[in-house]
Chains A and B, each alone.
Chain A
Amino acid sequence: MSKARGLADLGNAYDDGALSNRNLIINGAMQVAQRGTSFTGLTNGGSDYTLDRWRWSEGGSPSFVTDVTQDTSAPDGFASSYKIAVTTAASSLGANHSLRLMTRLEGQDLQQTAFGTSSAKNLTLSFWVKSNKTGTYIAWFYNGDADRHISKAYTVDVADTWEYKTLTIDGDTVSGFTNDNGVSIQLEFVLAAGSDFTSGTLATTWQAQVTANRYVGNVNLADSTSNYWQITGVQLEVGDTATPFEHRSYGDELARCQRYYFMLANGDEKTMPTGSYYSSTLVTMPVQFPVTMRSAPSLDSPTGTDYYGIYRDGAFDSFNSFTSTGRPSVNGITVDSNDTGASGTAGHSGPLKTDNASAYLAFDAEL
Chain B
Amino acid sequence: MDNMNITSAQYSLGLDSTNTSIRAIIDGKELSVPLDLSNRHYAEIMRQVEAGTLVVAEAD
Which residues of A, 164-216, contact B by the 8 Å Cβ criterion?
181-183, 186
**Besides the contacts A324-B21, A326-B20, A333-B34, what 12 more A-B pairs have beta carbons closer than 8 Å?**
A46-B27, A47-B2, A47-B3, A183-B1, A278-B15, A298-B34, A298-B41, A299-B21, A324-B23, A326-B14, A326-B15, A334-B15
**Smallest CB separation, A211 vs chain B (Å):** 13
Question: When the two chains form their complex, are residues A366 and B3 in contact, meaning their CB atoms are under 8 A apart?
Answer: no
Residues on the A chain within 8 Å of B47, using CB? none
B36 on the interface (CB 8 Å rule)? Answer: yes
Question: When the two chains form their complex, are residues A296 and B32 in contact, meaning their CB atoms are under 8 A apart?
Answer: no
Question: When the two chains form their complex, are residues A186 and B21 in contact, meaning their CB atoms are under 8 A apart?
Answer: no
Question: When the two chains form their complex, are residues B27 and A365 in contact, meaning their CB atoms are under 8 A apart?
Answer: no
Residues on the A chain within 8 Å of B15, using CB? 278, 282, 284, 326, 334, 336
Residues on the A chain within 8 Å of B1, using CB? 142, 144, 183, 186
Question: A297-B34, A297-B39, A298-B32 known; A325 and B3 CB under 8 Å?
Answer: no
Would you give 22 A-B contacts (Cβ < 8 Å), ordered by A? A47-B3, A144-B1, A186-B1, A294-B38, A295-B40, A298-B32, A298-B34, A298-B42, A299-B31, A300-B31, A322-B32, A324-B12, A324-B14, A324-B20, A326-B14, A326-B15, A326-B21, A327-B20, A328-B34, A364-B31, A364-B41, A367-B40
CA distance A181 to B37 in the complex (A): 12
Which of B27, B32, B38 meets A325, CB within 8 Å?
Answer: B32
A323 on the interface (CB 8 Å rule)? Answer: yes
Chain B: residues with CB nearer than 8 A to chain A? 1-3, 5, 12-15, 20-21, 23, 27, 29-34, 36, 38-42
Question: When the two chains form their complex, are residues A181 and B39 in contact, meaning their CB atoms are under 8 A apart?
Answer: no
Q: Mark A41-75, 1 if CB is under 8 A from B, else 0.
A: 00001111000000000000000000000000000
Residues on the A chain within 8 Å of B3, using CB? 45, 47
Residues on the B chain within 8 Å of A299, using CB? 21, 31-32
CA distance A336 to B40 in the complex (A): 22
Question: When the two chains form their complex, are residues A295 and B39 in contact, meaning their CB atoms are under 8 A apart?
Answer: yes
**Smallest CB separation, A4 vs chain B (Å):** 43
Q: Across the two chains, which residue of chain B brings its CB closest to A278?
A: B15
A218 on the interface (CB 8 Å rule)? Answer: no
Question: When the two chains form their complex, are residues B39 and A47 in contact, meaning their CB atoms are under 8 A apart?
Answer: no
Which of B5, B31, B34 meets A296, CB within 8 Å?
Answer: B34
Which of B29, B30, B38, B42 meets A321, CB within 8 Å?
Answer: B30
CA distance A326 to B5 in the complex (A): 24
**Smallest CB separation, B32 vs chain A (Å):** 4
Residues on the A chain within 8 Å of B39, using CB? 295-298, 365
Residues on the A chain within 8 Å of B32, using CB? 298-299, 301, 322-325, 335
CA distance A46 to B1 in the complex (A): 13
Question: When the two chains form their complex, are residues A303 and B14 in contact, meaning their CB atoms are under 8 A apart?
Answer: no
A273 on the interface (CB 8 Å rule)? Answer: no
Residues on the B chain within 8 Å of A335, using CB? 32
Q: Across the two chains, which residue of chain A brings its CB closest to B37?
A: A295
Residues on the A chain within 8 Å of B5, using CB? 46
Question: When the two chains form their complex, are residues B12 and A295 in contact, meaning their CB atoms are under 8 A apart?
Answer: no
A302 on the interface (CB 8 Å rule)? Answer: yes
Residues on the B chain within 8 Å of A325, using CB? 12, 20-21, 32, 34
CA distance A276 to B27 in the complex (A): 32
Question: When the two chains form their complex, are residues B38 and A323 in contact, meaning their CB atoms are under 8 A apart?
Answer: no
Residues on the B chain within 8 Å of A323, using CB? 12, 23, 32
